[in-house]
Amino acid sequence: MTVTQPVVCTTVAQLREEIAARVAAGAATVGLLPTMGALHHGHLEIARRTRAENDLAVVSVFVNPLQFGPGEDFESYPRQLAQDVAALAAEGVDLVFAPPVEEMYPGGAPVVSVTSGTAGAVLEGATRPGHFDGALTVVNKLFTIMAPGPRIPFRAYFGEKDAQQLLLMQRMVRDFDHRVEIRPVPIVRSERGLALSSRNQYLSAEQAEHALVLHRTLVALAAGELTLEQARERVAAEPEVRLDYLVTVDPQDLELVDPAPGALALVAAWVGPTRLIDNMRI
């Protein structure tokens, strides 16, 4: 089987030229999957969908320093562009945007940036200060850089598992009037309900069994069988599981609300030493 290699763009100007040329040549829709590289099965699943749903399929590979905190692993984060490009070639992706840091942030960190205020400082943001603002800042740039013009539908793909990130991206599109349609990608689960994550590999067989309490409790909460307090107690009572939070929020602004229809239930817990997140619409 022959695969066409994607064009790898390393500058903003080159990416814009490639997109303009392909739109001029007839591409009527553009799709973007933003990643930090080190692509795994889950990414490739979304790349396939991006490919299938758009004339022009673009994947960005950029380890964004802004979304790492001081104690975090920006330097040691895995970088394997050649492997990633090969994997994306097999999925038929057209363009890979892999800029160096200096191309995205010439002269250092941006002076003007994106902030999600308190909505990005709670829940996952509480354990990673600045993380969401960094992610929003780089995705805002990707949206503006790639904007193919008013007549060309432009879609961006984000997983539902990182619910807070997805909600903030949707909110940015609305608050900034980006002409981008966010296409959420549903959580993929094991047969027994555990949300797939690269961190699941750290779970022992026994821990993986205990971790099922997260999904089971979300289902019961969504069905109205448990109050929020009972749901928390059920998670906390599971051996080896330590609850970080279990809340229901308004997907518009991430404010805490009662577990009523339309709300989103979010859970984070340590199972042994491994931190897992999951979520479900009520």
Give catalytic residue positions. 43
Decide if residue 186 touches a second copy (CB under 8 A): no
How far is CA 66 from each of CA 135, 154, 158, rounded to the nearest angstrom? 7, 25, 19
Decide if residue 130 touches a second copy (CB under 8 A): no
Residue 185 burial class via C-beta count within 10 angstroms: exposed 0-12, middle 13-18, buried 19 and up: middle
Decide if residue 140 touches a second copy (CB under 8 A): yes
Q: Provide, rounded to whole angstroms, the least separation between the CB of residue 118 and a second copy.
A: 9
Residue 247 structure tokens: 């809340």
Decide if residue 16 touches a second copy (CB under 8 A): yes
Q: Indicate which single residue of 3, 5, 20, 270 sits in contact with a second copy (rule: CB under 8 A).
A: 20
Task: Give the bridge partners for 191, in sequence order.
Answer: none
Exposure string of 121-159, with b = 16+ CB inside 10 Å and e = fewer, is bbbbbeebebbbbbbbbbbbbbbebbbbeeebebbbbbb
Q: Provide, rounded to whole angstroms, the least separation between the CB of residue 68 and a second copy.
A: 18
Residue 214 structure tokens: 């997260």
Decide if residue 1 touches a second copy (CB under 8 A): no
Q: Does the annotation list 204 as a binding residue?
A: no
Q: Are strands 241-249 and 264-271 parallel, antiparallel or unpaired?
A: antiparallel
Q: Does the annotation list 40 as a binding residue?
A: yes
Decide if residue 141 touches a second copy (CB under 8 A): yes
The answer to whether residues 263 and 250 touch, using CB atoms and an 8 Å cutoff, is yes
The answer to whether residues 6 and 85 touch, using CB atoms and an 8 Å cutoff, is yes
Residue 98 structure tokens: 């892999």
Q: Provide, rounded to whole angstroms, the least separation between the CB of residue 16 and a second copy.
A: 7
Decide if residue 126 touches a second copy (CB under 8 A): no
Decide if residue 149 touches a second copy (CB under 8 A): yes
Stretch that binds a second copy, among 74-82, 90-98, 140-148, 231-239 (CB under 8 A): 140-148
Q: Provide, rounded to whole angstroms, the least separation between the CB of residue 228 and a second copy.
A: 23
The residue type of 229 is E
Q: Indicate which single residue of 129, 176, 230, 237 sits in contact with a second copy (rule: CB under 8 A).
A: 176
CA distance 247 to 237: 17
- Encoded one letter per residue, x for contact with a second copy by CB under 8 A and - for no contact, window 86-115 reads --------------------xx--xxxxxx
Which residues are annotated binding-site positions? Answer: 36-43, 67, 159-162, 165, 188, 196-199
Residues contributing to the site for a second copy (CB under 8 A): 12, 16, 19-20, 106-107, 110-117, 119, 136, 140-141, 144-145, 147-151, 168, 171-172, 174-179, 252-254
